[in-house]
Amino acid sequence: MSTTSPVPDHSHLDRVGYLFGFPIAHSMSPLMHKTIFDTRGWNWQQMFLPSTDISHFLKLTEDEKFFGASVTMPHKVAILPYLDEITPECQAVGACNTFYLRTDSNGKRRRLGTNTDVIGIREAFFQNVPNAETIYHGRPALVVGGGGAARSAVYALKKFMKCETVYLVNRDKAEVDAVISWCESQGYGEGLVHVVSAEQAERLEGTGAIVSCIPDFEPSTEGEIAARKTLEAFLAKPHKGALLEMAYHPVPWTRIAEISQKEGWQVILGTEAMIYQGLEQSRYWTGQPVSETEKAKVKEVIAEQLRKSQL
């Protein structure tokens, strides 16, 4: 059965967008985009739409005021058949997190989708690691996890970050097999290696970039414990790089972040990837890049929101 929330009143707005997913109460996306719009003096707003009803969402996109939407779970894959066109990033990852509109030569509005998660991952490294040539270029990378976020991470590492070999560590072999199979089908699966044990990790070349795509939890099952020990074996190697911890809810500083920092790794918080994917979304919706002033304001507002959430 679909879950559909009442549509927020937006009669006071010039333009309206949505965060479409379920559940979404913890998301900082509407706050981030409100900050950009307010800084520009625009009467635009992204509103929460906690819903599992795609047909209801699509009707809302027909509103003349609608500018676009962030698409999150459980709709990132399910929305694809309803789009008229997708970008190469969206195709390669197999998931859409950004819905936007364009008008064709006949004046018809077309539904388009892209994936800015890959840009968020890329920029989290690019903006925070000043010496990429010595840290991760040309070195193997590592992705912890086995879902859609893992595909986005593999794509970013191979497409943008000069990492020809990517190790995959996860508690579930079937999930890793699915990631490798998907990446191979899209032409970027070469050099993916499933690492199943700490012993195997110790025989492999050290990594320079790591992306952790799993929730923050203490390992308990056999598969979880083996995966954590495998990650720790990579972290203990002499070459130290940068780790992007994608999990930032309910707390941005996770168990993996703590272990990594103690081993001498630079830790990049997941809010960095969240911010940069959102800045890219704004560019699609507004046609304007986000200025350095606006970027600084967004970072300030998100940092303050994180501080409040930890009180």
In the chain, the domains with their CATH numbers are 15-115 (3.40.50.10860), 119-271 (3.40.50.720)
* Tokens read off for 265: 């790794």
Phi-psi domain of 288 (left: phi exceeds 0; alpha: psi -120 through 50; beta: other): beta
**How high is the pLDDT of residue 2?**
59
Neighbouring CB atoms inside 10 A of 1's CB total 5
Percent of the chain with pLDDT over 90: 89
Half-sphere exposure of 4 (CA within 13 A, CB side): 12
Annotated catalytic residue, options 59, 65, 76, 108? 76
**How high is the pLDDT of residue 185?**
97
Residue 256: closest CA among 216, 209, 226, 225: 216
Cα dihedral 93/94/99/104 (nearest 10): 100
DSSP 70: E
Phi, psi of 34 (to 5 degrees): -60, -40
Q: For the chain, what's the residue count? A: 311
Q: Which of 197-206, 249-258, 268-277 has the lowest mean pLDDT?
A: 249-258
Determine the Cα–Cα distance for residues 307 and 164; give it in Å rounded to an integer.
38
Between residues 171 and 4, the one the model is more confident about: 171
Phi-psi domain of 63 (left: phi exceeds 0; alpha: psi -120 through 50; beta: other): beta
Region 60-68: what's the mean pLDDT? 96
Residue 240: active-site member: no
**How high is the pLDDT of residue 213?**
96
pTM as predicted: 0.94
